[in-house]
């Protein structure tokens, strides 16, 4: 059970209802849980709608309007979520990573925190994973990893990638701090 009370659309003021409408119009009815409140980080967003609106806007921009291929974005997101053991984030984005072409063995190795992820010939995934993992574990990016990321993504792409990792760290913190539950019937990965 979440530490935040489940807020329904009828509980919200105009600002909260506008955010609710934006979240459900861009993400569909699947973000509304069986109790009528929003699932994932979105209940927290409508709890503080002025903050939540900006977070939702930033999240949409980082996932859908960057110069980085969606497959690579999902590698960064699941790497960040796995580091923080954010169950809901993992549940949502491991599926998306697979849908966007990340192999099952790579997803499993990232989930397990493996030191040697089997990227095979996908150096782009290896570089993005290295950036996300170094940021999550040290708060920095080593010179060799930075150089590889810059070669792969350019300056703009590296800025977008670092921002994405920071955003999904914030989402992980939100999910973990408020004990946001998984959907009914979904088993946790890290228990």
Boundaries of every domain in the chain? 9-63, 68-174
Q: Kindly report, residue by residue over 163-178, the tens digit of the pLDDT.
A: 999 999 999 999 999 9
Answer yes or no: is pLDDT of 120 > 80.
Answer: no
In the prediction, which pLDDT does 28 show? 82
Top-level CATH class of 68-174? mainly alpha
Weakest-pLDDT range from 20-34, 46-60, 135-149: 20-34
Q: How far apart are CA 190 and CA 185, in angstroms?
A: 15
Q: What's the average model confidence in pLDDT over 79-108?
A: 97
pTM assigned to the model: 0.96
C-beta contacts of 120-126 below 8 A and 24+ residues apart: 123/152, 124/69, 124/72, 124/152, 125/71, 125/72, 125/75
């Amino acid at each position: 059970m979440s530490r935040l009370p489940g807020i329904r659309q009828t509980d919200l003021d105009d600002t909260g209802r506008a955010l609710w409408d934006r979240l459900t119009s861009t993400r569909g009815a699947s973000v509304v849980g069986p109790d009528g409140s929003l699932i994932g980080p979105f209940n927290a967003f409508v709890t503080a709608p002025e903050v939540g609106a900006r977070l939702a806007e930033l999240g949409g921009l980082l996932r859908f309007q960057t110069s980085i291929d969606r497959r690579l974005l999902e590698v960064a997101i699941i790497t960040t979520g796995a580091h923080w053991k954010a169950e809901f984030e993992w549940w949502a984005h491991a599926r998306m990573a697979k849908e966007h072409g990340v192999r099952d063995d790579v997803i499993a190795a990232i989930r397990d925190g493996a030191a040697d992820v089997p990227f095979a010939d996908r150096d782009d995934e290896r570089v993005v994973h290295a950036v996300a993992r170094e940021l999550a574990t040290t708060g920095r990016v080593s010179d060799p990893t930075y150089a590889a990321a810059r070669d792969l993504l350019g300056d703009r792409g590296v800025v977008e990638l670092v921002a994405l990792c920071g955003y999904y760290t914030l989402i992980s913190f939100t999910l973990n701090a408020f004990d946001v539950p998984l959907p009914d019937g979904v088993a946790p990965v890290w228990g």
